[in-house]
Structure 1
């Protein structure tokens, strides 16, 4: 195994686990702040085909947007961890004309596009800033989640007033704006100019002992602003009632857009050049959640941008899905979602390949010696990645694909497999979507981004004691184990039970882990044995997939039998983990299987299934009887005995001919071979008889174990399936020899 420091181009890459568009850096020097931002976000961003297409389109629309344009709102979506927030942060830095005015544009672009692959985009970006003053307004909606209910309009107003230098508390901002204006009935400007001196006098008069506060304190603390603003209003106007008129404004999308347009016009007058404002709103679908009112507000905001902005105001919002899939819980609001789609005609995806490209460039780029080692050593191992480390699916796929491995991509992604970043994201995304409230899921907003996951996997890989180790799905489970325990504790507890079971092995635990993870991507990776084998393989010099596949089947049929069961639900995964109640019932059933009571089995068969069996077996229900003068049809009835035990089930009522049928051979302990006249003997076929007995015992044991309980729906389905197998097998087996 090659040392990590020699294999990779960068031995210890650094990155942020989660980028926030509004995150500032800890420095008061504007030039140093700017340089740190460029170094942290521009230099570390990798331009992919998807991000270049998005930036190219957006730059063109900002420069060429017309007053009647309907393409002012843009929807950027992708998995959590796909780089949406990082791209939005880069966009914020690239669009900020004022900040760029003191920078060397070409040098900055070189930091983003070091290989010079995107000169056309660079030229369009430069042209934009030569012709237009662009002002981005970044808004991270996650800041406002869970604090209190806030509307889009209120949040936007806070950001606009803050950008204009006012307080980000609207009650204070409205006051500041009013008192700085000139030409009113009252001389508010002089009061405003003396506010720092006046505010402590006001507080002292209102009973605050020894006040030593500043205006920033008033902005921050409501208890101070309530007293000071009222006092300043009284100082300027001689009354306090005017404060209510100043603060009580009709906050809505109209007021928000008017504030943005007013700000834009101020900047246009100040700089004497065209100004475009671009709202950059991060994590809009998480903010909306299941709130249909917020969905309506987003519609209204997008409409206002089209009506008020005159083509000079645009928006970019990020989401974790396209609009059609924005929130399954809002299915009843299809009309609103349809309108939203019209309001955001431009939708841009950051697909799994985009994520894989970033991961590969940032964390997996090889040194020249490392690339040579992978090509000459790893690719010539006993395990051929192209034939033994691929999955077989049922139609859906990722990019790079699950069912094929390109040699060059293998070299680029090693020790991961090329499809793994996309597969990991699919699993995490589906885990999140399965939660009752996706906005609170551990995999939304605060979970590790895919970059952090891959960095962790790379670190774990370096510690493996293998000849030529690779990252497996088991490694991924181990890395996110604590997050999984928080999100799906009932399922991870099954894994823990398997680990604590003295009868299971480490391999059994690995199989159970991949069964659990693959249950969230059944349409991508069905849980059949070859795929489970692929998922646990972690060494290019280890056992072949066929050998691992045999071990997987032994594990599922053996130690894991009570923990992992076939999922008989009509859709979803093929296998599922059982819960504790199921495990107890299955254990009871297994104990019964070990010591079957055939009299009880036959009695239960008579009670529950024999009528179904007879319905499938074609026995005559009438018999023609008579002499040369004529015949007549008479009803025939049957009585049944199985291995000496008379059954209550019978066919026919008011019968004339009552035929006794004796079935022998189901009970292996029955040695009675006597033959009597007038009786129909039915002997099951020897071929398949042992399978029939096994299926009878399995069905009986499970039914007996669950009879006194209200079993889980999963076990009810298992029991129905077992009963169906018994009926089918009995019908097939009883079509053997019979004699009279």
Structure 2
């Protein structure tokens, strides 16, 4: 009986693995800690961070960067759990995590030292906590920090004036008594009453007068007065944080873990400078007892677009304050996927070792892209092949570039055009789940990656593929179309017939000649249906706008076989016949116009209007 792929994996690949880590999700923390993979590179960055954290010098900011789906949020969440070191499933977080650091005693020791410092972690996604706070507000970023801090203290973060009202009562030791008095007066707990504070003004005043001894008539509009008087500045916020820390252990740390801050501040210079000022003020007031650890995209220009000189200057200042950098790259993600998802049994390693020995000579050329394409890394050796199988090694890097290109061209749903509900780990798991019942020797083809991001793509972007699935009637051509869609914006990849054949290679025994014949037939069909265009030996997926251009070009009838015949529109054959010189000039003009319109269609959304205007002129 032929062995199947599911037999070689150490863990079931179809087990539940959260596709994307959510900052506010407390379910399954033990599993997240247990399965987190500390790669060699991540281990080194953790050591540097913990050295700075344990021996504070000047910087209190940490900047975790990486491309979409690279695991930034997971690392942020792990740091929040480990530094606070609360109990998870009956054990301390560091105890669970230490098991994976047996071969790195230096890192384990630094982690234990950091966890021994008493601390509180405030972990949040900044967009989720912003609620209806407009990013155009001057203090939008500060409002979010103030809100999460107030909530951590047990106060009502949604309204700063109510939180300040509670804080003042608490500082006088009267908050508990006020809550009891309010319940007696209103018949409901304060935690419910404060949500409708405007409707509970009389009961608030009565309870406040009861616990403070004031005349109820003098405090009838106490909350309105707080609303009028409460003004929060960055300096005031830092002082409030400092005052709270001073009531804790002398070594205490308050750590803010902020997910997706890069996108939140991206296009607003004021928010950029506010983030820097918040970090600086906390550092000045708290002297290393308040840290800010944030995540952001590796390439901020992909989020912001072309940075202006002012933005470049502001952004460099922010990064100077966040001097502790923890960048994540594609190799980190590849190693995480291989160790967490694709780990093999002992028997599986032996089987795949024999497969490698048999195919070793072919592997050197089988995944070698030509025609001027970027030279993606091939398998290094047997160990690397066993770890990565059934995925060819080029797919980690190529897929990363694919989702970055699609994101830059606004292909994904969501506020920040990210992969949304899919991390790279989640996408690779979806592909692996579709292959588990295949025989050993089968390979993951690149078109399968499309299914992993389908639900995160905007409907208009994938309309061509959806129509092809309904009406094309050729499953293989649909797979070619999906592969071309994924590499649409990967400038380093040249989608020639040979390179497409590598993307769709199903197994090591595939007939290369037959594979290329099928691809050529599929490309011919897709081109006739105006789903792709050919440019020399290279084929390109057409967006909706580009399809309009191609359809217009196809409707142009060109006939220079007779004197004084020229270009006519296919739908208007009875029009005047231009001279030969005029026809040649018209053909050149149409060619240039079509090229301009193709450029417009490919342009990023932020520059498309400008290019349209230039093309019309």
TM bin, normalised by shorter chain, reads 0.7 to 0.9
Question: What residue in structure 2 maps to residue 604 of structure 1?
Answer: 566
1:452 shift after superposition: 1.6
Work out which of the residue numbers 578, 584, 587 in structure 1 matches 2:551.
584
Q: Which residue of 2 aligns with 1:95?
A: 83
Q: d(CA) in 2 for partners of 1:403 and 1:280?
A: 37
Equivalent residue, structure 1, for 2:171: 181
Alpha carbons of structure 1 residues 307 and 125: separation in structure 2 relative to 1, 3 Å = same
Alpha carbons of structure 1 residues 588 and 146: separation in structure 2 relative to 1, 3 Å: farther
Q: Which residue of 2 aligns with 1:737?
A: none
**What SS is found at the alignment partner of 2:565?**
helix
Which residue of structure 1 aligns with residue 291 of structure 2? 314
Deviation at 1:261, TM superposition (A): 1.3
Q: CA deviation at 1:163?
A: 2.3
> Paired residue for 2:256?
279
Contact preservation (8 Å) 1:21, 1:89: yes
2:114 is aligned to 128
Could you tell me how far 1:136 is from its partner in structure 2? 2.4
2:145 aligns with 156
Q: How does 1:33-72 map to 2 (within 5 A)?
A: 37=29, 39-66=30-57, 69=58, 71-72=59-60
Partner of 1:611: none
- For normalisation by structure 2, the TM-score amounts to 0.81
Give the drift of 1:226: 4.9
Q: Which has the higher contact order (CA 8 A, sep 6+)?
A: 2
Q: Residue in 1 aligned with 2:161?
A: 171
2:8 alignment partner in structure 1: 7
**2:613 paired residue number:** none
Change (3 A) 1:226 1:252: farther
Which string of whole-angstrom CA distances, capped at 9 and with x for unpartnered residues, describes residues 589-646 of structure 1? 5xx57xx67226x5329xxxxxxxxxxxxxxxxxxxxxxxxxxxxxxxxxxxxxxx99
Question: Which residue matches 2:396?
Answer: 421
- Note if contact 2:205-2:222 (Cα within 8 Å) is conserved in structure 1: no
Of structures 1 and 2, the larger Rg is shown by 1
Q: Write the distance in 2 (CA, Å) between the matches of 1:322 and 1:226.
A: 50
Where does 1:140-155 land on structure 2 (aligned, <5 Å)? 140-145=125-130, 147-149=132-134, 151-155=140-144
Q: 5+ residue gaps in structure 1? A: 26-35, 183-187, 204-211, 606-644, 651-695, 718-740
- Give the distance between the partners of 1:77 and 1:167, measured in 2 at CA: 32
1:509 aligns with 2:478: yes
Q: Is the 8 A contact 2:126 2:264 kept in 1?
A: yes
User: What whole-Å deviation, never above 9, does each CA across 1:359-418 have from its counterpart, x for those lacking one?
Assistant: 111110111121222222366369933321233486866xxx435554322211111122
Aligned residue in 2 for 1:460: 434
Instruction: Tell me if the contact between 1:277 and 1:314 (Cα under 8 Å) persists in the aligned partners.
Output: yes
Is the contact between residue 181 and residue 207 of structure 2 (CA under 8 Å) also seen in structure 1?
A: no
TM-score normalized by the length of structure 1: 0.69
Q: Distance in 2 between matches of 1:510 and 1:213?
A: 61
**Helix, strand or coil: the match of 2:35?**
coil
1:230–1:526 CA distance, 2 compared to 1 (3 A): farther
Aligned residue number for residue 272 of structure 2: 295
Q: CA distance change for structure 1 residues 321 and 439 in 2, over 3 Å: closer, same or farther?
A: farther
Counterpart for residue 193 of structure 1: 177
Cα distance per residue 1:204-246 (max 9 Å; x no partner): xxxxxxxx41122124444556554344345433223554454
Deviation of the 1:20 alpha carbon: 2.1
5+ residue gaps, structure 2? 568-576, 601-617
Tell me the alpha carbon deviations over residues 244-294 of structure 1, each in whole angstroms, 9 at most, x when there is no partner.
4544322122122212211211112xxxx4222222111101222423332
- Counterpart for residue 607 of structure 2: none
Which of 459, 471, 474 is matched with 2:444 structurally? 471
Instruction: Report whether the alignment pairs 1:364 with 2:309.
Output: no
- Give the 3-state SS of the residue equivalent to 1:19 in structure 2: coil
Shift of 1:110: 3.5
Compute the RMSD of aligned alpha carbons.
Answer: 3.8
Deviation per CA, 1:148-187: give whole Å up to 9, x if none. 32622222222222222333333322111111233xxxxx
Match of 2:612 in 1: none
Give 1:558 shift.
5.8
**Cα deviation code 1:414-468 (max 9, x no counterpart):** 1112232332222112211222998625635x3211222111101111255x773
Give yes or no for the alignment of 1:521 onto 2:505.
no
Conserved 8 A contact 2:257-2:293: yes
**Do the aligned partners of 2:85 and 2:115 also contact (CA within 8 Å) in 1?**
yes
- 1:277 aligned counterpart, secondary structure: strand
Taking the aligned partners of 1:326 and 1:496, their CA distance within structure 2 comes to: 28
Task: Give secondary structure in 2 for the equivalent of 1:43.
Answer: helix
Whether the 8 Å contact between 1:283 and 1:317 is mirrored in structure 2 is yes
Equivalent residue for 2:369? Answer: 391
* Paired residue secondary structure (1:384): helix
Shift of 1:715: 6.8
